[in-house]
Amino acid sequence: MKKTKLINSELSYEISKLGHTDEITVADCGLPIPKDINRIDLALVRGIPTFKDTLEAILLEMEVEEIVLAEEIKENNSEILDFIKEKLGDKKVNFISHEEFKKRTLHSKTIVRTGEASPYANVILKSGVAF
């Protein structure tokens, strides 16, 4: 049996395949997901699972060196922005427009869809190295 806390096998598998600088996106339930990108759909109903719970679970296994956020989160979702900053500490943060953010998701290896229903609750996580 697995020793780490993340028990979603598909999510754990996708994280294990990441190399340095690969990206995954954690998304609210409204972010469009390109048809050719792997989707892990965790959403059950609005609000379950939350963006916060999902991000915390991913960070149990993923080494992150940089993040990308939509500029609009600053004005429209300070609660999620503060949470991201708290969890990711001194990681490099790049802010881009929401339209650019949606285009950037085309580079993600996987997009994880949560049940989050608050605006701009999306983050692109760039994989770091654990050594």
Buried/exposed 119-129: b ≥16 CB within 10 Å, e otherwise:
bbbbbbbbbee
Domains in the chain and their CATH numbers? Answer: 20-127 (3.40.1650.10)
Cα separation of 7 and 29, whole Å? 21
Catalytic residue among 17, 20, 74, 92: 20
Mean per-residue pLDDT for 42-64?
97
Q: Kindly provide the residue ranges of all beta strands, DSSP E only, lying in the chain, ordered along the sequence.
A: 23-27, 38-41, 64-70, 92-96, 110-113, 123-127
Residue 41 annotated as binding site: no
Question: Does residue 107 have an active-site annotation?
Answer: no
d(CA 114, CA 49): 6
- The average pLDDT across 101-115 equals 98
Burial of 36 (0-12, 13-18, 19+ CB in 10 A): exposed
pLDDT of residue 1: 67
Ligand-binding site membership of 98 (annotated): yes
Has 122 been labeled as part of a binding site? yes
What percentage of residues in the chain have a pLDDT greater than 90? Answer: 93
CA-CA distance, 123 to 81, in Å (whole number)?
10
Interatomic CA distance for residues 65 and 26, integer angstroms: 15
Cβ atoms within 10 A of the Cβ of 109, count?
16
Average pLDDT over residues 30-53: 97
Q: Quote the pLDDT of residue 3.
A: 73
- Is 76 labelled a binding residue? no
What does pTM read for this prediction?
Answer: 0.96
Q: Which residue has the higher pLDDT, 60 or 1?
A: 60
Q: 121 a known binding residue?
A: yes
What residues contact 60, with CB distance under 8 A and at least 6 apart? 4, 5, 6
